[in-house]
Structure 1
Amino acid sequence: MTNKDTLCLLKECDSGTKMAVSSIDEILDKTEEPKLKQLLSETKEHHEKLGNEIHTLLIKQGSKDQEPAPMAKSMSWLKTTMKMGMDKSDATIADLITDGCNMGIKSLYKYMNQYAAADNTSKDICKRLISIEETLRRDLRCYL
């Protein structure tokens, strides 16, 4: 039987992967630089793959997946719309996604601390998600 912390951590990671995919989808067609577009597409695939893995674990535990908080999605959409309305450059896209990575990393570390009794599998997934976000953040630096 899975403990509560494990389920909570998995749900937060699930929400995070969905938020990342949604954010990338919002700007992918606005991206001009082919290498940046490829980087974002590959990162989206990594998030989707990890999200599918999380979803499978949640189903095995008899739980449902978790959507991102509506307020977080709304704020992300608003910020993206406003910034892209003022400047449609790849630098703006890199800036927006970097901000998203920073927020995601911060939240994931918070959840790992909050749900310290989670099992090693869910902690490993959380660490993998953090690694994806840190790698993307690093790879975006040249576009800022």
Structure 2
Amino acid sequence: MNQPDTVNLLQECDAGIRMGLDSIRDMMDSATQPLRQQLQEYRMEHEELQQRTEQLLGQHRKPGKEPAVMAKGMSWMKTNMKLAMETSDSTIAELVTDGCNMGIKSLNKYLNQYPQADASSREVAGRLIDLEQRMVKEMQPLL
């Protein structure tokens, strides 16, 4: 176990979870049922992973990490511009898919970048990747 790798991986997971939660909240009011219910379930799953991530970071006495301001701003702008042009479940599914694919790519990069991270942090990253992959799959019928 390498503490810097562990902490760095957990902080990147935390930033990704926060980004995902912000995006889900931004889209929630525009979704119709049953998509709104799916988004609420995704939000709860992200919150559970966030709690686990914060718990592990707390064991190392390290803070969480906010998403990069530029990335957060660009995501917000893309979401709001797309929804202003067309508010539909299809648009939301496209936004969710794009966001999840970026998250999956980033998380895999961080797993490779921090190979000495401990098993608990790697497990959190793996669970987050699994969640994002499932979200992409579940959005496909709405595209």
- Pick the TM interval, shorter chain: over 0.9
Residues 2, 116 of structure 2: 8 Å contact kept:
no
Q: Residue in 2 aligned with 1:6?
A: 6
Q: Helix, strand or coil for the counterpart of 2:15?
A: helix
Q: CA separation in 2, counterparts of 1:40 and 1:142?
A: 15
Q: Residue in 2 aligned with 1:137?
A: 136
Q: Residue in 1 aligned with 2:109?
A: 110
How far is 1:59 from its partner? Answer: 1.0
Q: Which amino acid aligns with 2:15?
A: S
How far is 1:85 from its partner? Answer: 1.1
Q: Which amino acid aligns with 2:20?
A: A
Q: CA separation in 2, counterparts of 1:39 and 1:85?
A: 22
The unaligned stretches of length 5 or more in structure 2 are none
Q: CA separation in 1, counterparts of 2:87 and 2:34?
A: 17
Q: CA separation in 2, counterparts of 1:116 and 1:12?
A: 14
Residues 103, 132 of structure 2: 8 Å contact kept:
yes
How far is 1:83 from its partner? Answer: 0.7
Q: Residue in 2 aligned with 1:97?
A: 96
Which ranges of 4 or more aligned residues in structure 1 deviate by more than 4 Å?
Answer: none
Residues 100, 136 of structure 2: 8 Å contact kept:
yes
Question: What aligned pairs does 1:1-144 form with structure 2 within 5 A after superposition?
Answer: 3-32=3-32, 34-144=33-143
> Alignment RMSD, CA only?
1.0
Q: Helix, strand or coil for the counterpart of 1:64?
A: coil
Q: Figure out how many residues of one structure are paired with residues of the other and give that number.
A: 143
Residues 2, 61 of structure 1: 8 Å contact kept:
no
Q: CA separation in 2, counterparts of 1:85 and 1:72?
A: 20
TM-score, with structure 1 as normaliser: 0.97
Q: Which amino acid aligns with 1:121?
A: S
How far is 1:3 from its partner? Answer: 1.3
Q: CA separation in 1, counterparts of 2:84 and 2:36?
A: 19
Residues 14-51 of structure 1: CA deviation (Å, up to 9, x unaligned): 1111111100000101102x111111110110000100
Q: CA separation in 2, counterparts of 1:72 and 1:139?
A: 25
Residues 75-109 of structure 1: CA deviation (Å, up to 9, x unaligned): 00010111111111110000001000000000000
Q: CA separation in 2, counterparts of 1:82 and 1:29?
A: 15
The unaligned stretches of length 5 or more in structure 1 are none
